[in-house]
Amino acid sequence: MRKFYTDGSTFENGKKGSQKSYFAVVDGSGELIIDKEIGDKTINEAEGWGIAYCLKYLKDHSIYPAQIFSDSEFWIKVIKRDYRLQKDHLKPIRNYIDKMMFDADVTIHWVDRDHNKAGKYFEKKQKKGIDKDSVVE
């Protein structure tokens, strides 16, 4: 069974109009599959779209059975219906996830941040960005 990891990252989270969000999907070996900027979105939107796009990737490439791991406890509980989603702006993400999960041989699991390979990808990416920006010429 193939494994995939998703994570989201948002700069200026909660500051509508100046947020910059991304999500990433990596495979079980840590190889990057998707790195996408999604603009002025919250961290919950970034995390949710990461799971949604991972599901789309699996469906488009007929990769079943598969496991998806995310460190977003919020989204795992929303998907498993342990939480009732109340935020209207997040409902299209949940609906898309539901659509992609229909008839898909995919399980979704929570993983702690330290073991999220997509999170490790973001750590490396941010470190490179910080290193690059800190160079004085």
Q: Are strands 2-11 and 66-70 parallel, antiparallel or unpaired?
A: parallel
Q: Mean of the pLDDT values across residues 111-121?
A: 93
Q: Tell me if 49 is assigned to some domain.
A: yes
**pLDDT tens sequence across 48-80:** 999 999 999 999 999 999 999 999 999 999 999
Asked if residue 135 belongs to a domain, the reply is: no
Number of independent structural domains in the chain: 1
pLDDT (tens digit per residue) in 82-107: 998 999 999 999 999 999 999 999 99
pLDDT bucket at 17, cuts 50 / 70 / 90: confident
Residue 52, domain member (yes or no): yes
Please report the pLDDT score of residue 129 as a whole number: 62
